[in-house]
Amino acid sequence: MPVSKPQDLPRGGGGRWPLCGTGFSSVQWGDLEVGYTVTAPGDHTELYRGLPGGVCPCPHYGYMFAGRLRCHYPQSDWPDEVAEAGEVYFFRPGHVLIYEEASEVLELNPAAALGILMDHIESVGGRNGVFGRGGRAVGGRREVGARL
């Protein structure tokens, strides 16, 4: 059975998603992607542009070590959900994420669904020059982390 401390997970998914920089580390264990995100506050809505409905296709199961994370479900009647330090959460697909505070998060996600999201973010970031060095968005508005 694999064992790791969150901060020791491979950066950028072990090279699969290098544009995500130092704020995102993950590894695939079986059908799950175990991810650890350390990120500055930021609205990640624009990262989902180009995905069906402009929303995240991946469910997220996580634990907040620090910070505050808002999950907004555009074009639905579902209320926003907010996870704060010390809380576990489940965010269903169809959302956008807004880190309201600097955050440290551990997530266990379906690997296939997270792969679709992360591959999209990498392609958009590289094609549009969204990311500068180290995964920080150009202009310093946000640093990509876990899932977006």
For 77-135, the pLDDT digits (tens) are: 999 999 999 999 999 999 999 999 999 999 999 999 999 999 998 888 755 544 443 44
Instruction: Supply the pLDDT for residue 134.
Output: 41
Instruction: Supply the pLDDT for residue 142.
Output: 35
- Average pLDDT of the chain to the nearest whole number: 85
Q: Decide the pairing of beta strands 88-91 and 32-39.
A: unpaired
Instruction: Supply the pLDDT for residue 143.
Output: 40
Instruction: Supply the pLDDT for residue 138.
Output: 32
Domains with residue ranges and CATH for the chain: 6-135 (2.60.120.10)
Instruction: Supply the pLDDT for residue 39.
Output: 93
Q: Is 56 helix (H, G, I), strand (E, B) or coil?
A: strand
Residues 6+ apart with CB under 8 A from 66: 85, 101, 102, 103, 104
User: pLDDT at residue 9 above 90?
Assistant: yes
d(CA 90, CA 13): 21
Distances in whole angstroms, Cα of residue 71 to Cα of each of 36, 113, 133: 17, 17, 27
User: pLDDT at residue 42 above 70?
Assistant: yes
Higher per-residue confidence, 124 vs 69? 69
Residue 9 backbone phi and psi in degrees, to 5: -65, 150
- Tokens for 142? 């946000």
Q: Which of 114, 80, 73 is nearest to 94 (CA)?
A: 73
Q: Is 95 helix (H, G, I), strand (E, B) or coil?
A: strand
Q: Is 67 helix (H, G, I), strand (E, B) or coil?
A: coil
Bridge partner list, 43: 98
